Amino acid sequence: MALDLRLLSSFLAVVEEGHFGRAAARLFLSPPAVTQHIRRLESQVGARLLDRSGSPVVPTAAGVRFAGHARALLDAANAALDDLADVAQETDGGRPLRVGIMGHGSAELTPAAINAYRRARPEVRVEIRQLDFTEHVTALVEDRVDVAFVRPSPKDERLVADVLTTEQRIVVVHERSPLADARTSGIEVADLTELPLFRVPGHTPHSFTDYLYFGDRAQRRSSEYAVTPQEVLTGVVTGRSAGSGLRSFARYYAWPGAVFIPVLDAPWESSYLAVRAGDDNPEVRIFRALAVALAKDMGPGINAL
């Protein structure tokens, strides 16, 4: 029996996210596509792999056992691709375009830009790489990605960045937080004094911590550390910490028990497409031009979604 690696990726995403919608957003697929992948996989292996009766979705006993095999298969496939990368560059005339994405990137503009590039340059392989909160500078300067959807703007002369979206700031808290009642009316930065925002590692760029903590006006810190949106939400729904982000965060990470509150007097913040300054890779220039053009075409409406 030959297993489609896409089915394994969808299965592991649902296992790790505990939710079909969040898994779909992470993979830049539609929820029905992920559901179909799981059904095909369960049909192939002849066992029910996920218990869909509650929230979060959890693996069955067979699913827990199969998850280990799925990770091993994907790891082996990725290792094989890495091992052959140099040979592939010699034989197919070029390297893949490596796209880094922090969190959900620039909301709906992220998959739109990637799909536009794939249509324009079908002969170029695109690799998607998830970035954590510490990597919006290092992933580019260390040549691990070629373009990166990040926030806020990288403060590094080795990089240049284009504004793609501009959105209202929000905080995310547990539904039993004293601030939860303000989900529709909103709050002000002064109300964040006692909010236990999650911590980030010490090597996180200052520009990101300044963004995260509203210029250090939100001064209280949780004991919880996080470097991905999933870790932020885990701290929130377990009542151990709170998070901050852009308004679109609520559309992509609507976890049960999490409440998203607009911060009315905080300056709106932007998401960016960052690249290395002076990069002469024509594929980078094409991708950048497409993303910027789409941002102009989609206009302010994307920020009001």
- When pLDDT is averaged across residues 192-207 and rounded to a whole number, the result is 90
Same structural domain for residues 102 and 246? no
Domain range for residue 38? 5-90
pLDDT-derived band of residue 304, with 50, 70 and 90 as boundaries? very low
> What integer best gives the mean pLDDT of the chain?
88
What confidence tens digit (pLDDT) does each residue in 225-260 have? 999 999 999 999 999 999 999 999 999 998 999 999
Q: At 282, which helix (H) or strand (E)? A: helix 282-298
Q: What's residue 81's pLDDT?
A: 61
| Calculated CA dihedral for residues 81, 8, 73, 110, nearest 10 degrees | 30
Q: Does the pLDDT value for residue 6 go beyond 90?
A: no
Check residues 85 and 68 and name the one with the higher pLDDT.
68
Q: Does the pLDDT value for residue 85 go beyond 70?
A: no
Q: Does the pLDDT value for residue 21 go beyond 80?
A: yes
Same structural domain for residues 156 and 196? no
Same structural domain for residues 69 and 205? no
Taking the C-alpha atoms of residue 162 and residue 289, their distance in angstroms, rounded to an integer, is 10
Q: Does the pLDDT value for residue 86 go beyond 60?
A: no
Number of domains in the chain: 3
pLDDT-derived band of residue 90, with 50, 70 and 90 as boundaries? very low
Same structural domain for residues 161 and 104? yes
Q: Are 210 and 133 in contact (CB under 8 A)?
A: no
Q: What's residue 28's pLDDT?
A: 74
Beta bridge partners of 51: 58
Q: What's residue 269's pLDDT?
A: 95
What confidence tens digit (pLDDT) does each residue in 168-187 have? 999 999 999 999 999 999 99
Percentage of the chain exceeding pLDDT 90: 67
Taking the C-alpha atoms of residue 18 and residue 234, their distance in angstroms, rounded to an integer, is 11
Same structural domain for residues 281 and 137? yes
Q: What's residue 82's pLDDT?
A: 60
Q: Does the pLDDT value for residue 217 go beyond 70?
A: yes
- When pLDDT is averaged across residues 162-167 and rounded to a whole number, the result is 96
DSSP symbols for 68-131: HHHHHHHHHHHHHHHHHHHHHHHHHSSPPEEEEEETTTTTTHHHHHHHHHHHH-TTS-EEEEEE
CATH code for the domain of 174: 3.40.190.10
- Residue 88's alpha-carbon distances to 92, 125, 128, 141, 280, in angstroms, are 6, 11, 18, 23, 21
Taking the C-alpha atoms of residue 231 and residue 242, their distance in angstroms, rounded to an integer, is 11
Q: Does the pLDDT value for residue 87 go beyond 60?
A: no
Same structural domain for residues 258 and 179? yes
Same structural domain for residues 57 and 13? yes
Same structural domain for residues 175 and 293? no
Check residues 97 and 193 and name the one with the higher pLDDT.
97
Same structural domain for residues 293 and 150? yes
Check residues 220 and 26 and name the one with the higher pLDDT.
26
Same structural domain for residues 85 and 13? yes
User: Cα-flanking dihedrals φ and ψ of residue 127, to 5°?
Assistant: -110, 125
At a CB cut-off of 8 Å and minimum separation 6, what does 75 contact?
none
Same structural domain for residues 14 and 37? yes
